[in-house]
């Protein structure tokens, strides 16, 4: 199937990322949180794409599923909890460990499971899993910015997904038989030159979109451990678990020499060169009026609430499917604190 987003000769990972982010925003395919730039983008149809995971044979057979923390994967986390799978999620930015297990309240209702699948639920209902814990993961589900039908994946540029998988390989949690799935919008499936894929990059076996299930048959090997030459000392300072692991591997006589150039220097520079123009971003079309008292309507405002005390706010023009979390975000942008 031909890519929706056109590629040019000489495209880099960063130029591909920005093409995808821009396209999702300009074509009104992006969903909260917005803008999608520098994120694993949430998109319209994410729930439909997530729902296809239950059609995969590996999902029905597996006992444990590791799912990324990103917003577009929320539907998969809920599906895993509803299917009574062991749900593992990465520790945010790997600051305190590798990943956590979500443990819902005993006898949790569907609504409580839904809460557990959110970013807040990950914070409130999880317990840490250490490097020494014996965990076997047959299915790993990750977010992507772009992916090809050959299984080549591009993330948001921070490398945490690749590191997480490499750490799981180190602890024996994943093996050659582990299946990796990504969930994206159809427009994020594009031709990615193989030359851009490096030894530490995680590839995928299945791609789920709102309209398709793509089996990639990717032959590119997945990371089987940490490639220290790809890391800089700055990364070790931010991720203590890597520092511990490096000491262990050094004592075992392995080569743990680090990268000499500053971490992310090239990517940061390229990202700034390709900086997105915010005027492309379609603002929320909620209309707001302040009601200071009954029968006394203040003038409608565009950006901020008036300084006079306001007890009631009237909102109209809600887009279909607006979530409470999105509404709260919009209110905060107007300097109103939702209760």
Write the CA distances from 242 to 30, 164, 226, 236, 246, integer angstroms.
Answer: 34, 11, 9, 6, 6
For the stretch 88-136, pLDDT in tens is: 998 876 666 678 889 999 889 989 999 999 988 888 898 887 767 778 8
Instruction: Give the residue-averaged pLDDT of 226-246.
Output: 82
Distance CA 336, CA 329 (A): 10
* pLDDT-wise least confident of 20-29, 89-98, 200-209: 89-98
Going by the DSSP 8-state scheme, the letter that residue 278 receives in this structure is G
Q: What is the pLDDT of residue 302?
A: 42
Is the peptide bond preceding residue 334 cis, with omega within 30 degrees of 0?
no
> In the predicted model, is pLDDT for residue 207 greater than 60?
yes
User: Between 275 and 181, where is the model more confident?
Assistant: 181
Instruction: Give the residue-averaged pLDDT of 202-229.
Output: 92
What is the residue whose two structure tokens read 């923390």?
69
Report which listed range, 244-253, 266-275, 324-333, is most confident.
244-253
Distance CA 271, CA 267 (A): 6
Angle at 197 between CA 195 and CA 202, to 5 degrees: 165
- C-alpha closest to that of 120 among 95, 151, 89: 89
Average pLDDT, the chain: 82
Per-residue confidence band for 332, with pLDDT thresholds at 50, 70 and 90: low
- Proportion of the chain above pLDDT 70, given as a percent: 75
Q: What is the pLDDT of residue 8?
A: 85
> In the predicted model, is pLDDT for residue 167 greater than 70?
yes
CA within 13 Å, CB half, 185: 23
Q: What is the pLDDT of residue 276?
A: 53
Distance CA 130, CA 170 (A): 12
> In the predicted model, is pLDDT for residue 26 greater than 90?
yes
Count of other CB atoms within 10 angstroms of residue 95: 10
What is the residue whose two structure tokens read 């009237």?
314
Instruction: Give the residue-averaged pLDDT of 238-261.
Output: 82
pTM check: above 0.85 = no
The residues, ordered by sequence, that sit 6+ positions from 27 with a Cβ below 8 Å of its Cβ are 187
* pLDDT-wise least confident of 15-29, 38-52, 96-110, 185-199: 96-110
> In the predicted model, is pLDDT for residue 217 greater than 80?
yes
Per-residue confidence band for 286, with pLDDT thresholds at 50, 70 and 90: very low
Q: Where are the alpha helices (DSSP H) in the chain?
A: 13-26, 46-51, 57-61, 74-82, 110-116, 119-124, 160-170, 233-238, 240-251, 265-273, 324-333
For the stretch 69-84, pLDDT in tens is: 999 999 999 999 999 9
* pLDDT-wise least confident of 57-66, 114-123, 142-151: 114-123
Per-residue confidence band for 314, with pLDDT thresholds at 50, 70 and 90: low
């Amino acid at each position: 199937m031909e890519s929706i987003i056109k590629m040019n000769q000489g495209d880099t990972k960063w130029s591909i990322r920005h093409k995808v982010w821009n396209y999702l925003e300009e074509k009104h395919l992006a969903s909260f949180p917005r803008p999608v730039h520098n994120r694993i983008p949430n998109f319209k149809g994410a729930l439909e794409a997530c729902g296809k995971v239950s059609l995969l044979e590996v999902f029905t057979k597996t006992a444990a599923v590791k799912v990324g923390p990103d917003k577009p994967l929320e539907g998969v986390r809920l599906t895993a909890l509803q299917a009574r799978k062991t749900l593992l999620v990465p520790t945010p930015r790997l600051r305190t460990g590798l990943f956590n297990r979500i443990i819902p309240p005993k006898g949790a209702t569907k609504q409580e499971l839904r809460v557990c699948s959110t970013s807040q639920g990950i914070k409130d209902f999880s317990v840490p899993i250490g490097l020494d814990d014996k965990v076997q993961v047959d299915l790993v589900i990750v977010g992507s910015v772009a992916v090809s039908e050959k299984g080549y994946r591009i993330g948001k540029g921070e490398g945490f997904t690749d590191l997480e998988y490499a750490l799981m390989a180190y602890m024996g949690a994943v093996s050659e038989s582990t299946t990796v799935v990504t969930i994206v919008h159809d427009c994020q499936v594009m031709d990615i030159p193989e030359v851009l894929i490096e030894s530490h990059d995680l590839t995928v076996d299945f791609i789920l979109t709102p309209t398709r299930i793509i089996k990639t048959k990717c032959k590119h090997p997945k990371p089987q451990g940490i490639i220290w030459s790809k890391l800089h000392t700055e990364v070790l300072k931010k991720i203590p678990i890597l520092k511990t692991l490096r000491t262990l591997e050094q004592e075992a006589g392995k080569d743990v020499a680090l990268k000499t150039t500053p971490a992310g220097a090239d990517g940061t520079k390229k990202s700034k060169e390709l900086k997105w123009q915010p005027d492309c971003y379609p603002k929320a079309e909620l209309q707001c009026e302040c009601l200071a008292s009954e029968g006394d309507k203040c003038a409608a405002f565009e950006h901020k609430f008036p300084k006079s005390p306001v007890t009631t706010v009237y909102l109209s023009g809600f887009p279909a499917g607006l979530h409470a979390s999105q509404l709260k975000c919009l209110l905060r942008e107007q300097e109103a604190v939702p209760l």
